[in-house]
Structure 1
Amino acid sequence: MERIYNAKRCPIENRLPYTKYLLAGEVMHWWSNMKMMLEDSREPITWELFKKKFYAEYFPNSVKYTKEVEFLQLMQGDMSVSEYAEKFKHLGRFQTLKMAEDWQCRKFENGLRGDLKLMVAPLSIKEFPALVEKARVMDKLKVEVEAQ
């Protein structure tokens, strides 16, 4: 939602009314109850407060921390390089520390299966898309060579 609001240059004061209009199902019921509690406490209901309450309800810290640990422990295992790269990017969003691209490459590389790591690590690739592509190519070549 925020990406859309930012792209459309939606003023902050319009974001909450637009978002409330789009709520449906369980989230709409949650917001009705939350709004009553906030009004009872006479706390001003702002876009920032809505986001804070929404994230606390639907994306609690315990979930974020679990995802971060999953990212830090991620290994390719029996996933294809493409599946591993997608999971790596998905879980990487939960990383709380700023991730430089060269660190991201080392983390990805270290999670590759041993046979691929041996082929890719000596290349010292420091750009993530190039590293993923090289790992895909090496994996494909390995399969082709083994089939001969």
Structure 2
Amino acid sequence: MSKRISQSKPSTFNGKGEPSELELWLREFDKLFDVVECPEELKVNQAAFYLVGEADYWWANSRSGLLEQTNGVFNWDLFKRAMREKLYPLHVRKDKSNEFARLVMGDMTVDEYYRKFMEYIQYCPDDVPTKEKKMQRFELGLSYDIQKHIESDRYNTLEQMYKRASQIENILRKENKKENGKDPEKRKEIAGQTSRISSDFYQKKARTFGNFQGSRSSTNSGFRGDVKPAKPLLDRDGNERKYFYRRCRENNPGKNCDGNLVECNFCHKRGHREYKCYIKKGSGSQQPGGQHRQ
């Protein structure tokens, strides 16, 4: 068994560095023991052979005491626990346990949350001793939008739940981008269409008013094309002048007593009287056709 393990050239551990280094070393031997099918009663001695430096000194001085505490039954799981207690002082494990209890996804992505989750498990494995506890705790820290689509009893491992949570996060991100119009290329396309529509509208409007002024100036030769309506005439008291028909004694702006449109005596257009004629006011009392009124 020792030969089969040595052929894989496993790493040694000196008892220094970060707790994560111990976890990597323990994980390496977990996998190695599975591959070579190492019997449970041989695992501790096979792994202890690769302890060096401070770690080897600790094991040499602690081995007999640990065996006495367990009545000689000191297996691989107890060895890993003893190694963690040696490297992780009690106050460190308590602090990490409290931090782990408050861990939630928050502004992190699912990938970031998963990596943080696995890091805390290394420090406090007793907080989630079974795979079911791990999945329940992982689900509890996910965002509410993802939790709505996750049911812990549908997954056999934490890795399966993690992958499903990542898929849901990706779908929700795409839906939010579509709803909020966050696609920059789509915004550019919409902005371009809006700009073209606005430009066409105002150009058409300008042509319409330009044609109106041009036709007016060509029809009434000798008049300016930008003539504005004349201001209302005022009487001696400063009030707007009114026109009362003799027959009905009513003020009928632009209409006669029968309700028909009146005709201007100056430009001969219907709907206004001569004293309100904007062509007359804009032309200096010049008759249509370029002749002064006699």
Within 5 Å, give how 1:95-110 maps onto structure 2: 95-96=127-128, 98=130, 99=132, 103-104=136-137, 106-109=139-142
1:140 Cα offset (Å): 5.8
Deviations 1:63-84 (A, max 9, x none): 4443332222113344333111
Aligned-pair identity in percent equals 19
Return the alpha-carbon distance in structure 2 between the equivalents of residues 121 and 20 of structure 1. 43
* 1:67 has 2:100 as partner: no
Return the alpha-carbon distance in structure 2 between the equivalents of residues 27 and 146 of structure 1. 55
Query: How many pairs align?
Result: 137
Return the alpha-carbon distance in structure 2 between the equivalents of residues 67 and 57 of structure 1. 16
1:16 Cα offset (Å): 2.9
Return the alpha-carbon distance in structure 2 between the equivalents of residues 18 and 97 of structure 1. 25
1:46 Cα offset (Å): 5.7
SS in 1 for 2:38: coil
**TM-score of the superposed pair, with normalisation by structure 2:** 0.36
Return the alpha-carbon distance in structure 1 between the equivalents of residues 134 and 46 of structure 2. 36
1:130 Cα offset (Å): 1.3
Higher-RCO chain (CA-CA 8 Å, sequence separation at least 6): 1
> Which stretches in structure 1 are left out of the alignment for 5+ residues?
none
Q: Please, which of 88, 108, 115 is the counterpart of residue 117 of structure 2?
A: 88
**Higher fraction of helix:** 1
Return the alpha-carbon distance in structure 2 between the equivalents of residues 102 and 32 of structure 1. 38
**TM-score of the superposed pair, with normalisation by structure 1:** 0.62
Return the alpha-carbon distance in structure 1 between the equivalents of residues 67 and 172 of structure 2. 61
* 1:55 has 2:84 as partner: yes
Return the alpha-carbon distance in structure 1 between the equivalents of residues 38 and 174 of structure 2. 46
CA contact (8 A) 1:71 1:91 kept: yes
Return the alpha-carbon distance in structure 2 between the equivalents of residues 23 and 46 of structure 1. 21
SS in 2 for 1:125: coil
CA contact (8 A) 2:67 2:73 kept: no
The one-letter code matched in structure 2 to 1:4 is L
The one-letter code matched in structure 2 to 1:26 is E
Change (3 A) 1:79 1:42: closer
Change (3 A) 1:80 1:105: closer
Return the alpha-carbon distance in structure 2 between the equivalents of residues 104 and 67 of structure 1. 15
Structure 1 vs Structure 2 CA RMSD: 3.8
SS in 1 for 2:75: helix
CA contact (8 A) 1:68 1:96 kept: no
Within 5 Å, give how 1:104-119 maps onto structure 2: 104=137, 106-109=139-142, 112=143, 117=144, 119=145
The one-letter code matched in structure 2 to 1:8 is V
Change (3 A) 1:78 1:72: same
Aligned to 2:165: 131
1:19 Cα offset (Å): 1.6
